[in-house]
Structure 1
Amino acid sequence: MARFIGAALILFIVTLFTSHGHAGEARPKFPPDEMLAVPSLTLTDEQFFQGDTANAVAVTLTGQLRFPSWNERLPAVILLHGTNKSGAVARWAEFLNRMGVATFRLDSFGGRGIGEVEIHPSRLSFLAQFYDTYRAVDVLAAHPRIDPSRIAVMGFSRGGSAALYTSMRRFQTLHGPSKTRIAAHISFYPACNIQFVDELDVADAPIREFHGAADDTTLPAACREYVTRLNDGGKDAVMTEYRGAYHGFDVPDARPGFVGGAQTSRNCQRREENGKIVNVATGKPFTYTDACMEPGETRGYDKAATEAARAAVKKFLTGVFHLN
């Protein structure tokens, strides 16, 4: 009798985790995803630079946390979307999960009632996403199944700028996470045509930047120059370029060719000055209606570049997170 009960129990457990339920019903993911709330603020450029959080608008963002297994104290990567929340983020989440890394897909738009900032970039300061990133790090660091010493940030386009520049010590002092330090910064095709005060004073965490050499949305030359200056200052920063690859080269469903509509600041040289972002050409505060703004960009998935970037990220994070 005991043998029969034991066999029945084993059969029940196996059925529980392998059954597809009713016909046509998808099997639930196991372990299940979690939706986490991230308390943040919607800061203007001036509020961000001045550390003025008292007068900013409070907002609650959300993010999807995915676990590769039930193991506790997992390393995690916070994934930061760009101006239109492209499909690259979801595919990178799947790739990282297969490595044994938890992923947190932060949504900086939904909680603010924004669908995109590709056509209308003035809807949200890109610096607000820097602040969001720090708050997401704090939320993850408090999660019982996440190892707070192994949290990295990884972003794409506008999110790539957040992943890159949240490494700056000055920004971390003003707004950075209070529960831990960011273990690594991984940035894909960010905009580097802006010079921040003390931008070479970055934290002691490795920086990796990936760019298509043919990118006409966020020009790689500006990032190459910035990373070179970081290297000259003894910082652990590496930029990798892929010949012939365009902006969003890792997005398989991106429509190939030149696409109009999206507003780009590729021709704008900007710098931080007296708590504002200034257009270098005019000496006046930068706006998204300045003459240097230009619509349209070239897109196209590059399978070889994507596979090379994935291999590089896997090797990098294996070392940073001490994975088997």
Structure 2
Amino acid sequence: MEVIPIPSVTLTDQEFLSGREDGKPVTVAGELRLPRNGTDRLPLVILLHASGGIGSSITDWEEYFLSLGVATFVIDSFSGRGIVNTINDQAQLGRLAQTEDAYRAIATLSKHPRIDPNRIMLMGFSRGGQNALYASLSRFQKMHAQPGTQFAAFVAFYPDCTSTYLEDEDVVGKPVRIFQGTADNYNPVAPCRAYVERLRTKLHDVQLIEYAGASHFFDARALRQPQQLSQAQTTRNCRTVEVENGLLVDATTKQPFSYSDACIERGTTIAYDENAAASSKEAVGGIVRAVLKP
């Protein structure tokens, strides 16, 4: 195991969408774990955490990937920015900040002597899943990624798909997979269905895998007893659209979006689902074997 600092910047969503790279400098830490000693170059999965930060479910995924012979790198996007979590106050950090961190991380890890730069996958959960999904946009890649770096696949668990970005139907030519439960009342599946349908008209390699009756965080074993997050902010009834100059507006009011908008609600459920967890793990394992070839 090795802790690696990643120089990044903190950007608002408007700054990110405008292509700016002059945000407040920040160093985010990441933990690299290798499945074995040696000198060979290994495939890698970079993991982006949810609004609650790094939890036990990410540790479970690390162990799984390591068992497949794949290295893992978990980025802590909060601690370096003085954030504990964003569950009750999502305005603390731009929703696309983790995409910037992911692009910075692949640039750093691609130069690591034990990592194969051509076999790096991005995977995220909830807030991190939103970033793992939209990191696939060609426009974001051109604006923010280091030339010559490219993820081999993008895996998003229960992401927020309520935002429509300019040119968001133009994604890089790599597999995109979304995993979501039909009972998710945090990030409902319907907006992701609509987005995937738009992407499919462009013949992209994108799939949405749905699990009937599963809730948010269906893969987290620590949530065998469902939890109610009474103050958690959710955009489940919001729709935001990017207009000129990288501005996100509320699709209903046509005014700049903020977390004080009427569409923002509080109160969500998070719960483990054994069948969905097992099925999604098998599916992700299939992606790893097909794309990363450990």
| DSSP 3-state at the match of 1:224 | helix
Distance 2:183 2:137 in 1: 27
Partners of 1:322 and 1:252 lie apart in 2 by 27
- For residues 313 and 50 of structure 1, what CA distance do their matches in structure 2 show? 33
**Corresponding residue for 1:253?**
222
Q: 1:313 aligns with which of 280, 284, 291?
A: 284
The answer to whether 1:298 aligns with 2:269 is yes
Equivalent residue number for residue 133 of structure 1: 102
The alpha carbon displacement at 1:48 in A equals 0.7
Distance in 1 of aligned mates of 2:72 and 2:142:
25
2:243 paired residue number: 273
Native 8 Å contact 1:141 1:179 kept in 2: no
Alignment of structure 1 residues 130-209 onto 2, 5 Å: 130-209=99-178
Residues of 1 paired with 2:118 and 2:151: CA distance? 8
Residue identity opposite 2:249 in structure 1: V
Larger radius of gyration: 1
Equivalent positions of 1:216-231 (< 5 A) are: 216-231=185-200
Alignment identity in percent? 43
Query: What TM-score, normalized to structure 2?
Result: 0.96
Counterpart for residue 4 of structure 2: 36
Q: CA deviation at 1:179?
A: 4.2
Q: Structure 1, unaligned stretches of length 5 or more?
A: 1-32
Mapped pair 1:70 → 2:37? yes
Q: Which runs of 5+ in 2 are unaligned?
A: none
Secondary structure, counterpart of 2:193 in structure 1 = helix
5 Å matches for 1:105-120?
105-120=74-89
Shift of 1:156: 0.1
Matches within 5 A, 1:94-113: 94-113=63-82
Higher RCO by CA contacts (8 Å cutoff, separation 6 or greater): 2
Separation (CA, whole Å) in 1 of partners of 2:58 and 2:236: 23
Aligned residue pairs total 290
Structure 1 residue 45, shift from structure 2 partner? 1.6
Shift of 1:178: 3.0
Partner in structure 2 of residue 52 of structure 1: 20
Q: CA–CA distance in 1 between the matches of 2:164 and 2:290?
A: 30
What aligned pairs does 1:18-33 form with structure 2 within 5 A after superposition? 33=1
SS of residue matched to 1:126? coil
User: Distance in 2 between the 1:228 and 1:92 partners?
Assistant: 28
TM-score by length of 1: 0.88
- The one-letter amino acid of 1:216's match is N
Give me the CA root mean square deviation.
1.0
